[in-house]
Each structure stands twice: as structure tokens, then as C-alpha cells.
Structure 1
Amino acid sequence: MSPSGDPEAPSSRTIAGLALPALGVLAAEPLYLLFDIAVVGRLGALALAGLAIGGLILALVASQGTFLSYGTTARSARHYGAGDRTAALGEGVQATWLAVGVGLLIIAVVQAFAAPIVTVIAGAEDIADAALPWLRIAILGAPAILISLAGNGWMRGVQDTVRPLRYVIIGFGLSAVLCPLLVYGWLGMPRLELAGSAVANVCGQWLAAALFCRALLVERVPLRPNPDVLRSQAVMGRDLLLRSLAFQACFVSAAAVAARFGAAAVAAHQVVLQLWSFLSLALDSLAIAAQALVGAALGGGRAAHAKAVAGRVTLFSTAAAVGLALVMAAGSSVFPKVFTTDQAVLDSIGVPWWFLVAQLPVAGVVFALDGVLLGAGDAKFMRNATLASALLGFLPLIWLSLVFDWGLWGIWAGLSTFMVLRLVFVGARTLSGRWAV
């Protein structure tokens, strides 16, 4: 019996055993990016600007590829819960084939259009010239990034979150070793400067991808492409991709409007948004645990257990979010100074900061229920709910704030409305029980 007295409720140890390694995987890339920025930053402002532009494009590829992780987790967990580990691993095989195909397509498209893409985003010719070689090298890691996302998906589905953490750390570890050696030409290595950062990234990404592929090979499962499974994964991926695009449209619009209010406003917006994104990672780790446990429970025909998972994970996520909100509130006069010393930015940062504090408890519930519904394979509903929340809440308030000069108040009111609408949608869906099938 669980500590709560509910025999169907998952134990705290089970949830933590899935969530903590998942948190490590989620945090590894942001931490490596900070290291990469520190290394390249010593080459000067132009190199750092080139890395920022090229990295933005590569990050977009990675963020849109998360459908391979979330979708595969749900499908693999269903088979695992039904006692069919072979089929669960088969989902990983097919997701890996899909990752290879999509990754090669991305390479072809980006290589063909890299110059105009970089020029449009960078604006200045010297920044575009710095970013272009980096991007042409770094995009060669696109299939590896997607293979790792697929690998994370099927391993979470079979409730193994430790090996993905190990593989990601090994891959980023290689990148971290190679980055300064290739950028600065240390220990007899060629001095490639900014291009060295891209080479280091690609090497680490392909090492991690090779480890995920090896994990499938040692399972001795059929490796042939299965058109039926690929088609089903593509349909689920389509819904998750549209959901992800809705997020991107909102955040790009918010940044564009914030820029119209001046450098201090956009800087304050970006600082708090990056902090919001980082805190979201901690809460997402619990959502990943919910995905794996809910998918396995429903695959085994245990709807009551799936509902118990939903309740327990939501409780944990909400408690964690309230704790983070209290920390952010207590540090409101201290934390912003860690990110900037510009007084104009500090004067502007208070508005989004307190919106962030108020949003966190709502986000704790929303992210947990996202994990529950994604674990249940309810991708179509998630797509519709996110699109509706964006079109009804976030985007109108963002653009109205520009028209009526509401500044950061309007932008962050839009983000808050977006979160509240999502809470209404996913909360109602979860309470209805229609997902637990």
C-alpha cells in the first residue's frame, strides 16, 4: 500500500525514480549550452552573436523534434504495461527510423536555405557570415538529436530513465572536452574558433545517438521499418508538432512585441522568460514520470491506477511549483541582479517577475496534467487545447498590448491567460475521465 493509503496510488519512490533522472536529461543541454557560450564568448562579441543565431535555428529543430520523445513514450508505455516488452521496443525501432528520415530531410533543407535563413534572422552581414559556417556544420547533428529524442521516448516508456541520463551525459561530456580544444587549438588540435564549437556539438550528439542505437541492438528486436507503426507515429507526431508550433508562435510574437517597447523591455522579458523556461524543466520531469506511469497503467487495463498516478503526480508538481514560487518571491530583489546590472532592465523586470511568481502554481498543475494526457495518447485533444488557448488568450493580448501600448503588462497577461485557459481545458479533460481508456 502506498503512503497515502490508496493501494492503487504509485509510491513517491517510484515517481522520484523516474522524475529525477529525467530532470537530469532535461537540464543537461541547457547547462552545456551555458558552457559552450562561456567558451565561445572569449572569441569576442561577433563569434558569440554568430553562435546565438546559429544556435537559435538548431534549437528550433530540437524543440520541434520533441514529438519523437513524447509520442514514443506514450505508445511504448502502453505496450510495456500490457506486458509486451518486444512491442514496446518495436516502437523505439520505428521512432528511430522516423528520426533518421526526418533528420536527413532537415539537413537537406537547411543546407539548401541556410544562407537566406541566417541573413533574415541576423540582419547584419558580419553576424550572418559568422553564423553560417557554424550552422552548416552543426545541422549535421540533426539526425543524432532526433535519434536521442526517440531513444529517450522508448526508454521512458519501459520506465528506464537512468540509461538515457547516462548516454546524454557521455555525449555532452565529449562535446565539453572537445569544445575548448577545437575552439582554441589546445593540445595540438587545430584552432577552428567558432566552427570548433559546431564540430564538438556534432561529435557529442552522434556519440549519444550511437549509444541509443546500441541499446536497441542488444535487445535483439526486429529492426525492419514497419509502415503501419510509422504511419501511426507520424499521425501522433503531427498533432504534437502542431501543439509545439503554437508555443513557438506565441513566444516569437511575444519577443517581437517586447522589442517594440525598447531594449530594456525586451531584455527584461527575455531574462524572465528564460528563467520561466528553466523552472519549467523541473516541473516537466514530473510530467515525464506521469507519461510513463499512465501509459503503462492504461496498457495493462488499470484505469484506476492511471487516475491515481494523475492525482499523485499533480499533487507533487503543484507542491514543487508553490515552493519555487515562494523562492522566486523571496528573491525578487536579489535574483534579477544575477542576470543583469543594467538599471533600466532591473526597473522593467518587476512586471514579468511577479507574473512569473503568480503563474508557477498554475503551471505546476498544467504540466502534470499535460504528462497524464500525453501518457494516455490524448495528442489530438492536447493539440486542440493548446491551439485554442493560444488563439483565445496569448496571441490577442500580445498584439493588443502593442496597439494600446500596454508594454510588458500586456505580454505577460497574455502568457498568464494562456496558462489559465490550458488549466481549464486539461483540468476538465482529466476530471471527465474520458482519457483513461
Structure 2
Amino acid sequence: MSSLPLTRRSIFAQAWPIMLGQASVPLVGFVDTAVIGRTGNAAELAGVALGATVINLIFWSFGFLRMGITGMTAQAAGARDDDEVRAMLVRGLAAGLALGLVLFAAQLLLIPAAFAVLAGSPEINAPATEFVEARFLGAPAALGFYALIGWLFGLGRSRAALALQVVMNVANIALDVLFVWHFDMGARGVGYGTACAEWIALATGLAIAAQVLGRPGMIAMKGRIRGFFAAAAMRRMFAVNADIMIRTVALLILFTWFANAGARLGAAPLAANHVLMQLVSFAAFVLDGFAFTAESRVGMAIGAASRAQFLKAIRLTGEFSLGAGMVFTFAIALAGTPYVAFMTQDPQVRAAAGALIPYVAILPLLGVVPWLLDGIFIGATQGRALRNAALASTALYIGTDLMLRPFGAHGVWLAMLAAYVYRAGALGWHFPALLRRVERGEVAQHPVGP
């Protein structure tokens, strides 16, 4: 499993399938909403929305399985340590399935606790609970999928990852329609559809992984599985992933605070923020294509103990990230008002959203730096720096939001822009130390292979 060439052509070839796959993620949410919205009542639609928030908070807290596995797999690939590449797949899948089973077993405690925090009316909580209970059936598959797709990203197998995402998204859409429209299962049917799609995606992913490993790789794994779980390797994996988990939870708190800040201002500002955040989410998902590519290329450079490749990987992915960020900024500035007019007919929401478009337009350009730095530090498996930067930027953001409350919706968005500056600054502060460690060869987990 050799490293990939480090050229602009190869960077783009690796990034575009990720961008396409990421762009398809919001489509599934749109279909979920449309399916239940056209057949259920308002309470069921609100219940799916609330339930999705609960699932995202719980499941994505384990997103470290995707990020940590990507960095460590890339480093092993860069060091040409095929045995460790295979070990990372087995370790990641084992951890994901085990943690998913724990989540499934703990749902009797987690679900009531989540709805106690995100309190809704009994009319909304009932379908939301049905949706969440159904989604928990897919918890082991969802977390196993995180590890599997992280492994593919680490190897630079972005087309295989795209195929896997397409399978999951198509299955999700088809099963949602089947369970809701044909079997009239409402919010629970949407949850069942997604849970089944996660198991289908996991099974498909295992077949793809077997193809990537090839027959020689599968044979080489026989009799060595126990060695893949050596104490030192497991300690390192969980140490890196524990820090990334704290980082992820801190950022989830940041975005939950932002949502609550909009809700505090009333219905029209909250609806305006929801409409505008679709633009932000789409830009972030697409630009993540270059951040994920940076994870892989930086990890491979570190595995190969090459400072030159490390810096070149950053420069090439940075060029693409900056260019894409500028495109999104200009596109939102030009098309933001027509987009708002298309998304809502409410004059109050239109007015509130229209006044905030300049903030939304600049956000992708500001986000380029922290998103790319995230990719660099994930590829370098620098969990402690990621954790500290996320904690610091979240604390600073909350303080800034509190200070800017007199400015209403403008203050809410100014604080969000500041949060991206804080993340960039905090990770940038750690970068010189990372570069020194790369120069001394202290980051790589493996010696350079033959």
C-alpha cells in the first residue's frame, strides 16, 4: 500500500470525490424532511428535527473514530507499514462496533436525559422519541462506518469512500420512502430507514475494504488479529481519540450555543438563521474535501518522515482551499438574496436573513484556515493541540456572544465569525511546535519503511 504522488493533479483527484460525497449529505436531510413533511403532521416533522439533533449530539461525539483512524492509517501508509494499515482497520472496526453496542445498551438512560436537556412539548417529544429509538438500532453500524470511512480516507481511497457514501444515501432515501409512504410508519419509519441504511453501508464497506486489501492482504491477516490489539498500540489509539472526542464535544457545544442564541431572539431570527446555516453547512461540507485530503497527505508525509512532503502537502491543499473559499464567498454574496427569497415566503424571515447575508458570505473564507488546520493536526494525530484549541475557542466564543448580545442578530453572527478566528489562532499557535517536531522526526509513529 504505497503512498500517493504529491501533485496538484493528484490532490484534486483525491479531493473531488470527497467533495461530491460530502455535498450529498445535506440531500439526505432534505429528503428526510420532505418525506415526513408531505405525509405527517407538523408535530411529526418537528419531532424528526428534534430527534435528529439528539442523534447528532450523541453519535457525532464519537466522530473521533473517523478522524483518529484517518491520521494513524495515513501515517502507517506513509511509512509503508502494511501490517499496521491492516491493524488500524481491525482496531477501528472493533472500537466502533463495541462503542455502538454500548450506546445501544445505554439508550434507556441516554434518551430521557437528552430530551430533558432539549425539552420540547409532549406532542413533539413522542415522535422524536420514536425516531431516536429507531436510530439507536443502527448505532453499532454508524460508529463502525465512521472507522471504516476514516480508514479509506487515510489511504487516499476517496473514490471508494464516495461509492460507500452513495450506497448509504441511496439506501437511506429509498428506505425512508418505503417505511413512511408505504408502511405509514411516520417518524419511526424515518429512523428505521436510516438505521437500516447504516447497516447496508457497513456491509458494503467491509466488501470494499476486502477489495482494497486484496487476497494477499486478507491472507496476511490470518493468525495475526490478536497482535493487532497489542497494549501499546491500543493505548496510543485511545489517547489520540480521547483528545479528539473532547475537541468534538467542545465544537458541538459551540454550535448548539449558536442555535440557542438564535432561538433567544424569536421565531423570525431563528428561522432566518436556519435558512442561512444551510449555506454555511453546504460550504463546510464541500470545503472539507480539501481538509480531509490534507489529513491523508499530512499523515503520509509524517509516516515517511519527510518535512518537505509535509510542507508541500500543506501548500497544495491550502491553495485549493483558499480558491474554493473565495468562490463560495463570492457566490453567497451574489446569490444570497435570491436564495433566501426561494427558501422562504415569510417577509419577516426574508428581511432578517437578508440583513445577515454579508456575515454568511465571509464565513467560508474565514473558515478555510481553521478547517485546513483541523485537517493538518488530525493527519498529524495531534489530539492534544486539537483539544486545547477547541476548548479555548469555544470558551472565547461564548464570552464574545455574551458581550455582543446588545447587538441582536448581528451580534450572534459576529460572535460566530470570531469563533472561526479563535479556532484559526489557537491551532496556528500550536503549528510552530508541530513543525519543529516534524523536523526532529518526533511525530511519526513508525520508522520509514524499505
Using the size of structure 1 for normalisation, the TM-score is: 0.91
Is 1:33 paired with 2:29? yes
Counterpart contact for 1:98–1:230, Cα < 8 Å: no
Kindly report which structure 2 residues correspond to 1:72-87, keeping only aligned pairs within 5 A, or say none: 72-87=69-84
Uncovered stretches (5+) of structure 1, i.e. residues with no partner: 1-7
> What is the match of residue 417 of structure 2?
416
Matches of 1:347 and 1:332, distance apart in 2: 12
Name the amino acid aligned to 2:166.
Answer: I
Query: SS of the counterpart of 2:99?
Result: helix
Shift of 1:215: 4.0
Whose relative contact order is higher, 1 or 2, with alpha carbons under 8 Å and at least 6 apart? 2
Counterpart contact for 1:397–1:411, Cα < 8 Å: no
Kindly report which structure 2 residues correspond to 1:11-410, keeping only aligned pairs within 5 A, or say none: 11-42=7-38, 43-115=40-112, 117-118=114-115, 120-185=117-182, 190-217=183-210, 219=213, 220=218, 221=221, 222-224=224-226, 226=229, 227-392=231-396, 394-402=397-405, 405-410=406-411
Shift of 1:137: 1.3
Matches of 2:172 and 2:270, distance apart in 1: 31
Matches of 2:158 and 2:5, distance apart in 1: 20
Shift of 1:177: 1.7
Matches of 2:98 and 2:232, distance apart in 1: 16
Matches of 1:210 and 1:76, distance apart in 2: 21
Shift of 1:116: 5.0
Matches of 1:182 and 1:333, distance apart in 2: 37
Counterpart contact for 2:100–2:139, Cα < 8 Å: yes
Shift of 1:407: 0.8
Q: 1:434 aligns with which of 424, 436, 445?
A: 436
Query: SS of the counterpart of 2:184?
Result: coil
Matches of 1:144 and 1:27, distance apart in 2: 22
The alignment covers a number of residue pairs equal to 423
Shift of 1:119: 5.5
Greater alpha carbon shift after TM alignment, 200-209 vs 411-420: 411-420
Uncovered stretches (5+) of structure 2, i.e. residues with no partner: 442-450
Matches of 2:16 and 2:119, distance apart in 1: 38
Counterpart contact for 2:21–2:162, Cα < 8 Å: yes
The two structures, once aligned, show a CA RMSD in angstroms of 2.0
Counterpart contact for 1:134–1:198, Cα < 8 Å: yes
Matches of 2:349 and 2:284, distance apart in 1: 23
Q: 1:426 to 1:115 in 2, by over 3 A?
A: closer
Name the amino acid aligned to 1:193.
Answer: G
Query: SS of the counterpart of 1:333?
Result: helix
Seq. identity, %: 26
Greater alpha carbon shift after TM alignment, 22-31 vs 210-219: 210-219
Query: SS of the counterpart of 2:381?
Result: coil
